[in-house]
Amino acid sequence: AQKITQTQPGMFVQEKEAVTLDCTYDTSDPSYGLFWYKQPSSGEMIFLIYQGSYDQQNATEGRYSLNFQKARKSANLVISASQLGDSAMYFCAMREGQNTGNQFYFGTGTSLTVIP
Amino acid sequence: DGGITQSPKYLFRKEGQNVTLSCEQNLNHDAMYWYRQDPGQGLRLIYYSQIVNDFQKGDIAEGYSVSREKKESFPLTVTSAQKNPTAFYLCASARLYIQSNYGYTFGSGTRLTVV
């Protein structure tokens, strides 16, 4: 079974509007971390936001927020007030266990296009 | 400034040739990783290492080899046994057992094309 599933290959959003990128995960480990990365066309991976499995509140970082629904095993990324520079690939990732050196599992990504 | 350097940025290989991709970090990170990225498939783990002179296979290790002789360096060799090596290769590093919100630091990638 896939550890991370991203079901939206491509998304479009109007500039200044909000957009939600979906991510579901599968793990039996009670301790895990969920990450979102942005990959512009240049190829670099940019860390956006983190949510720990024991965190009670949804994570927020500026215009990014993570809608964490533990019972549904979903960790959707919400981008508010979209900007043209948000056009990129977005990857959801999970790391299981306490060791921060454990491998990440990545989804297949969502390509976001912001329309002026 | 600390970071991860991958070189070269673009690499062309003839069929049947081995090529080595370089990954160097000056972050004093213990763990290093190699991922392969193909369109529509996300990132898949090739090899990783959490300590010098030790490394483990990831999900798609066949046709690849690595070494970890120094903490700072984790080169990846794409051998002629790799049937479809054309892809984007990303190197990453991480510290072990620190605050849990700490993720990977990535290099800028190497795009390998077989000609």
Q: Which chain B residue has its CA at the smallest distance from A109's CA?
A: B42
CB of B104 within 8 Å of any CB in chain A?
yes
Cα of A27 to nearest chain B Cα, Å: 17
pLDDT for B96 equals 81
pLDDT for A51 equals 95
* Contact call for B108 and A43, based on CB within 8 A: yes
Cα of B45 to nearest chain A Cα, Å: 8
Residue B99, pLDDT > 70, answer no
* Contact call for A103 and B45, based on CB within 8 A: yes
**Average pLDDT of the residues of chain A:** 95
Structure letter (DSSP) for residue A103: P
pLDDT for A25 equals 98
